Amino acid sequence: MNGFHGYIQVLPGGEFAARPMGSYTPLVDLMGHKNYGGKTMLFMVDGLYAAHDASYTPIVRWQRPPFNNDWCSSLFASQDEVALESVVIDFMRSEAAYNDRVAGPVDNYLHEAAQANAPPSGTFYDPTTAARGWPASACTSTGTTPRTGSTPAT
């Protein structure tokens, strides 16, 4: 596999095939690294305005309550990166405009990260030492196990 994108691709199409649930993802190595996840005090997601992707216009108004055809106008923050991103994915999955974008195993990395010491993929995540030839040390859980099939309360 060439480059990073092949490991995080979740939708079919393009140069890479979609990655299934329970597969390796380098995002867990980043989240578990002592200089990233280990030093971050607060994780934030800017949800003030939402678009389908970085180049999409117009910006999408959210249909579901409490937004009622208005901007998302939300900031999300947590000290638990996995819980935070799980909530954001739940919000996006509940909005019809994102059904074609937030589909499939987009939360695979969250399941892997929450159980990084014994992930569904069986991967031995070692974010700090393996690349340097030092003794291996397993990554521990980087957050709360994400919910599945749930939507945020209205």
Residue 24: both structure tokens together:
């390796």
Q: Look at residue 144 and tell me if it is in a domain.
A: no
Q: Look at residue 100 and tell me if it is in a domain.
A: yes
Total domains in the chain come to 1
Element (DSSP H or E) covering residue 108: helix 108-114
Half-sphere exposure of 122 (CA within 13 A, CB side): 0
Better-predicted residue by pLDDT, 8 or 84: 84
Distances from the Cα of 50 to the Cα of 41, 46, 57, 130, 144, angstroms: 25, 9, 10, 38, 25
Q: What is the pLDDT of residues 105-150, one digit of tens each?
A: 888 888 988 888 888 999 888 877 655 555 556 676 666 665 544 4
In the three-class reduction of DSSP (H, G, I as helix; E, B as strand; rest coil), residue 84 is classed as helix
For residue 99, give every residue at least 6 positions away whose Cβ sits within 8 Å of its Cβ, in sequence order, or none. 93
Question: Looking at residues 93-103, what average pLDDT do you find?
Answer: 80
Give CA–CA dist 153/140, Å, rounded.
30
Better-predicted residue by pLDDT, 18 or 39: 39
- Output the pTM of the full model: 0.76
Mark residue 44 as left, alpha or beta (left: phi above 0; alpha: psi -120 to 50; beta: remaining). beta
Domain extent for 17: 5-132
Q: Look at residue 153 and tell me if it is in a domain.
A: no
Q: Look at residue 141 and tell me if it is in a domain.
A: no
Q: Look at residue 27 and tell me if it is in a domain.
A: yes
Closest to 24 in 3D by CA, of 139, 102, 101: 139
Q: Look at residue 150 and tell me if it is in a domain.
A: no
Beta-bridge mates of residue 46? 75
Q: Look at residue 145 and tell me if it is in a domain.
A: no
Q: Look at residue 99 and tell me if it is in a domain.
A: yes
Q: What is the pLDDT of residues 25-61, one digit of tens each?
A: 888 888 888 777 778 889 999 888 877 766 666 678 8
Give CA–CA dist 83/85, Å, rounded.
6
Question: Looking at residues 67-95, what average pLDDT do you find?
Answer: 89
Residue 53: both structure tokens together:
């992707």
